[in-house]
């Protein structure tokens, strides 16, 4: 009922190479939906098919129930904001924003009113009469957004719109984009390779890998319950543990032997039986580290003994690498208190790493190559 934008079995090939392969998903009216994936995974190709610059080899795309196949780009109810702002250097900001309306031969008074509304929306009223080279990169991108929105598209397509800007400015523009979205209320399809950007701005995310959509869900769902090792490694960092189920411990937990490490308890996210090979994703911030032996443990918790092998101080948190058996675990400790007076664990300390069994997540699929996407290797030598 809410399916406003529909991609149905969409495929695009270049020779034998599938840039987009049998992609099916829907975007709801008014939401910010992010297409997230590494460079080359097919994000721009999908956007260009929706915008009408290229046509799919198979499948179809519907906007508000209407198949847009064959409709020329300028007749589709979408507008695109690119990473390169593509502003006209010789035109003022005002004329850049009004350009589309002028081409559509709208009246002078109407154009002036619409452009004023847009200048106000993107907070550029004082810069209206400047040329693009007299304003900053962030302001240029706001012009590009205004220029797309002035045509009143039903969907705004944003292709890596912030990629050319530095971190602080990117964060600020994300907040502004969110506010603009609240104000105009239309659907945003936001393409990015940056997971923090996608997390921060979207209602839902479609994670792409090699031309396919690997998982669709709300940001927290994608982060907490990644379906496979690609999604788990691409979104944030994690520890991958490989093991075999020894026995079930009641309905909720199972005892699992982890290769080169020891026995742990695992929450039965999926139906697993003794003998099954499993792969677990365990986010570093879910683990805690302490130098004293834990008092008592219960069946819902794990405590593994190890040695601190590396300490990386990151300001807001410290990342520890703890050796347990023949492998290492990444553990993150948040500095929620001023801790110069405390004695945090350090190199060579004997420690206990603890976590709740239900904070690990059983993956549906695992490929060893995805372990190489993590920021640091889990295994040494
Ligand atoms: N016109 C083209 N001819 C051949 N290959 C292309 C063409 N356009 C895109 N590709 C390939 O398709 C894949 C997906 O490209 P693209 O959609 O631009 O990826 P993304 O935007 O996710 O970085 C890439 O491997 C790219 O090299
Ligand atoms: Mg791209």
Asked whether 45 lines ligand 1 (CB < 6 A), one says yes
- The tokens for 153 are 């598209």
pLDDT given at position 186:
96
| 3-class secondary structure, 315 | coil
Burial letters for 11-25: b for 16+ Cβ neighbours within 10 Å, e otherwise? bbeeeeebbbbebeb
DSSP for 348-380, written as a single string: T-EEEEEEEGGGSEE-SB--GGGGGGSSS-S--
Say if residue 299's pLDDT is above 90: no
- Torsions phi, psi of 162, nearest 5? -110, 5
Q: Can you give the residue ranges of every domain in the chain?
A: 3-229, 230-284+300-373
Say if residue 184's pLDDT is above 90: yes
Mean pLDDT of 222-232: 97
The answer to whether 304 and 257 have CB atoms below 8 angstroms apart is: no
Ligand 1 atom at shortest distance from the alpha carbon of 45: 17
Asked whether 15 lines ligand 1 (CB < 6 A), one says no
Output DSSP code: residue 45: H
Mean pLDDT of 327-344: 83
pLDDT given at position 171:
92
pLDDT given at position 379:
59
Ligand 1 atom at shortest distance from the alpha carbon of 48: 17
pLDDT band at 376 (very low <50, low <70, confident <90, very high): low
Give CA–CA dist 135/142, Å, rounded: 11
pLDDT given at position 377:
59
Ligand 1 atom at shortest distance from the alpha carbon of 37: 22
Mean pLDDT of 330-344: 81
Over residues 188-206, the pLDDT tens digits come to 999 999 999 999 999 999 9
Strands (E), the chain: 3-14, 17-28, 32-36, 58-63, 66-67, 78-81, 155-159, 187-192, 204-209, 212-217, 239-249, 253-258, 262-267, 277-282, 288-290, 301-313, 317-324, 327-334, 350-356, 361-362
Task: Find, among 101, 109, 7, 113, the residue nearest to 63 by Cα.
Answer: 7
Say if residue 380's pLDDT is above 50: no
Residue nearest to atom 12 of ligand 1 (CA): 19
Say if residue 3's pLDDT is above 90: no
Over residues 233-264, the pLDDT tens digits come to 999 999 999 999 999 998 899 999 998 899 99
Output DSSP code: residue 294: P
Over residues 125-159, the pLDDT tens digits come to 999 999 999 999 999 999 999 999 999 999 999 99
Mean pLDDT of 326-331: 93
Say if residue 47's pLDDT is above 90: yes
Mean pLDDT of 330-349: 85
Say if residue 51's pLDDT is above 60: yes
Say if residue 84's pLDDT is above 70: yes
Mean pLDDT of 33-53: 97
Q: Name the percent of the chain lying above pLDDT 70.
A: 97
pLDDT given at position 270:
86
Give CA–CA dist 22/176, Å, rounded: 34
Mean pLDDT of 222-228: 97
What's the gap in Å between 47 CA and the centre of ligand 1? Answer: 11
| 3-class secondary structure, 277 | strand
Residue nearest to atom 25 of ligand 1 (CA): 40
DSSP for 202-221, written as a single string: -SEEEEEETTEEEEEE-HHH
Give me the sheet containing 155-159, strands edge to edge.
78-81, 155-159, 187-192, 32-36, 204-209, 212-217
Over residues 52-67, the pLDDT tens digits come to 999 999 999 999 999 9
Exposed (0-12), middle (13-18) or buried (19+): which is 369, by Cβ within 10 Å? exposed
pLDDT given at position 381:
44
Q: Which ligand is nearest to the CA of 40?
A: 1
- The fold of 3-229 is Rossmann fold (3.40.50)
The pTM score is 0.93
- The average confidence (pLDDT) of the chain is 93
CA distances from 6 to 57, 152, 202, 209, 315 (A): 16, 20, 18, 19, 43
Task: Find, among 233, 249, 261, 231, the residue nearest to 328 by Cα.
Answer: 261
Exposed (0-12), middle (13-18) or buried (19+): which is 270, by Cβ within 10 Å? exposed
């Amino acid at each position: 009922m809410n399916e406003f934008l529909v991609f149905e079995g969409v495929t695009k090939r270049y020779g034998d190479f599938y840039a987009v392969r049998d992609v099916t998903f829907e975007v709801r009216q008014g939401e910010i939906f992010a297409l997230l994936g590494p460079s080359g995974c097919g994000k721009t190709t999908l956007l260009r098919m929706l915008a009408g610059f290229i046509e799919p080899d198979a499948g179809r795309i519907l906007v508000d129930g209407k198949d847009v196949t064959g409709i020329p780009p300028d007749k589709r109810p979408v507008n695109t904001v690119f990473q390169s702002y593509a502003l006209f250097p010789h035109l003022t900001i005002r004329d850049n924003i009004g350009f589309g309306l002028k081409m559509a031969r709208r009246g002078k008074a109407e154009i002036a009113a619409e452009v004023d509304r847009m200048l106000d929306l993107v907070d550029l009223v004082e810069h209206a009469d400047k040329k693009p080279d007299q304003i900053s990169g962030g302001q240029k991108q706001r012009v590009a957004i205004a220029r797309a929105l002035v045509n009143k598209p039903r969907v705004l397509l944003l292709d890596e719109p912030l990629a050319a800007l530095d971190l602080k400015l990117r964060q600020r523009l994300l907040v502004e984009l969110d506010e603009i979205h609240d104000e105009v209320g239309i659907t945003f399809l936001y393409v990015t390779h940056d997971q923090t950007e996608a997390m921060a701005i979207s209602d839902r995310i479609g994670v792409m890998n090699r031309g396919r959509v690997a998982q669709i869900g709300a940001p927290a769902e994608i982060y907490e319950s990644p379906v496979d090792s690609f999604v788990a490694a691409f979104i944030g960092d994690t520890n991958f543990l490989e093991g075999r189920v020894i026995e079930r411990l009641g309905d909720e937990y199972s005892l699992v032997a982890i290769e080169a490490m020891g026995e742990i308890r695992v929450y039965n996210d999926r139906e697993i039986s003794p003998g099954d090979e499993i792969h677990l994703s365990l986010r570093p911030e879910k683990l805690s580290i302490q130098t004293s032996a834990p008092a008592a443990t219960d069946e819902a918790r794990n405590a593994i003994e190890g040695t601190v092998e590396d300490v990386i101080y990151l300001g807001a948190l410290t990342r520890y690498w703890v050796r347990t058996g023949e492998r290492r675990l990444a553990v993150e400790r948040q500095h929620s208190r001023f801790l110069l007076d405390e004695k945090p664990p350090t190199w060579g300390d004997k420690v206990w790493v603890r976590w709740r069994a239900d904070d690990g997540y059983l993956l549906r699929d695992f490929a060893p190559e995805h372990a190489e996407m993590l920021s640091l290797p889990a295994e040494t030598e």
